[in-house]
Amino acid sequence: MRVKRFQLQAVRRDFEILQMQKGETVNDYIGKVMSLANKMRMHGNSITDVAVVEKILRSLTSKFNYIVCSIEEANNVEEMQIDGLQSSLLVHEQKLNRMNAIEEMTTLKMSTPGETSSSRGRGQRRGRGHGRGGREKSGDVGRSADLVKDDYDNKCKRHFDKSKVECYICGRIGHYKNECYTKLQKEKKDQSNFVEKREEETLLSYSML
């Protein structure tokens, strides 16, 4: 018996402190209230429908204040049924949801052009900045290529600087082997010897006739 009384006190306390939470639907909240009311009845507390109706009306969120005042003024709460109260609250909840949806759509339509322009402007600024960075990078690449080319040209000039070239024939500095004076003189002498030899052979052949 004592345990049952403690259980009843716990359920009654939960019933009294129960409040509708923000974002909670009418059906969900009334379901919680009815569940606690039925538990109280199971433990021997004969709670009436009027007490349940009054509990629901005083524990709704602030968005239902208007409909609560209208219900209390237009109806006798002591004669009101729980199902009738639930139906009235559901109709009001649906109207609120439609109004919120319309307001959100209107706000979205009003804010979208500005956000789009702002986003486009930011995108253009980023694009221009990126473009400048790209041109700077391109300039750096061009300058690097010029430096490489100049370095290559300098190497080529050093390569063709005859003052540092050693001839493999005479061993002297200042010319290549194909430009060597000694080689040219030797080739000229060899050519002269060849011509003289041919002339001698020609004369010899005529003398034998």
3-state secondary structure of 160: coil
What is the mean pLDDT of the segment spanning 133-138? 48
Q: For residues 194 and 180, is the Cβ–Cβ distance under 8 A?
A: no
Q: What is the pLDDT of residue 129?
A: 47
Q: What is the pLDDT at residue 113?
A: 59
In the chain, % of residues over pLDDT 70:
56
| pTM for the model | 0.51
Domain residue spans in the chain?
A: 1-93, 159-208
Q: What is the mean pLDDT of residues 101-116?
A: 76
Q: What is the pLDDT of residues 25-59, one digit of tens each?
A: 999 999 999 999 999 998 888 899 999 999 999 99
Cα 107 to its chain centre, rounded Å, is 25
Please give the average per-residue pLDDT across 70-85, as a whole number: 89
The per-residue pLDDT for 106 is: 87
For residues 61 and 22, is the Cβ–Cβ distance under 8 A? yes
The mean pLDDT of the chain is 75
Angstrom distance (rounded) from CA 78 to CA 87? 17
Report pLDDT for 188: 65
Instruction: For residues 177-197, give the mean pLDDT.
Output: 66
55, 33 contact by CB (below 8 A): yes
